[in-house]
């Protein structure tokens, strides 16, 4: 099994440029309750439109829900941001139409822990259609696939390591 998740370009570029080793946090502005991935399954970074290609991925380690401060305390800049205020600001922007003035600091986010991340550089981003996998334009979060993983060999061969 593997999953493909819509990924923010800025988050991806920050992590790619810094090439973090160890665990990173693929956070979600609301809990996604990822329950079907097991340790070692790949989660692929599918960059948002207009790119709409896989640009990297990592092996699933764990899923937790925590507030923004807890996520920052645990992962720091491995959240894909330089500072706590940057992380809070990005989440606030994502949630601006749904929070309606409620306290953001206690808001729970999804924390998808990934290890062994690989980051592709343009022009090595890969199209899912090359592997007969269709990603609907309406996909807003992620999609699970029960088939053999067609991307891991490509990613391991062409992606920069997390070191």
pTM of the prediction? 0.90
Closest CA to 58 of 80, 47, 43: 43
Residues 6+ apart with CB under 8 A from 110: 27, 28, 30, 31, 32, 33, 34, 63, 64, 65
Domain architecture of the chain: domains with CATH: 2-120 (2.30.130.30)
Task: Label residue 161 exposed, middle or buried (CB < 10 Å: 0-12, 13-18, 19+).
Answer: exposed
Model confidence at 18, in pLDDT bands (50, 70, 90)?
very high
Query: Residue 144 is encoded by which pair of tokens?
Result: 């699970």
Model confidence at 162, in pLDDT bands (50, 70, 90)?
very low
pLDDT tens string 73-124: 999 999 999 999 999 989 988 877 554 445 666 789 999 999 999 999 999 9
């Amino acid at each position: 099994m593997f999953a493909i998740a819509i990924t923010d370009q800025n988050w991806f570029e920050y992590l790619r440029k810094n090439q973090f080793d160890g665990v990173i946090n693929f956070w979600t502005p609301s809990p996604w309750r990822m329950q079907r991935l097991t340790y070692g399954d790949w989660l692929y970074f599918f960059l948002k439109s207009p790119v709409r290609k896989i640009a990297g991925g990592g092996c699933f380690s764990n899923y937790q829900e925590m507030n923004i401060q807890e996520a920052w305390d645990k992962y720091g800049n491995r959240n894909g941001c330089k500072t706590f205020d940057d992380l809070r600001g990005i989440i606030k922007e994502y949630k601006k139409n749904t929070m309606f003035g409620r306290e953001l600091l206690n808001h729970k986010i999804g924390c998808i822990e990934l290890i062994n991340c690989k980051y592709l550089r343009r022009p090595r981003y890969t199209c899912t259609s090359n592997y007969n996998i269709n990603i609907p334009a309406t996909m807003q979060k992620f999609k699970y696939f029960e088939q053999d993983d067609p991307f891991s060999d490509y990613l391991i061969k062409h992606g920069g390591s997390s070191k």
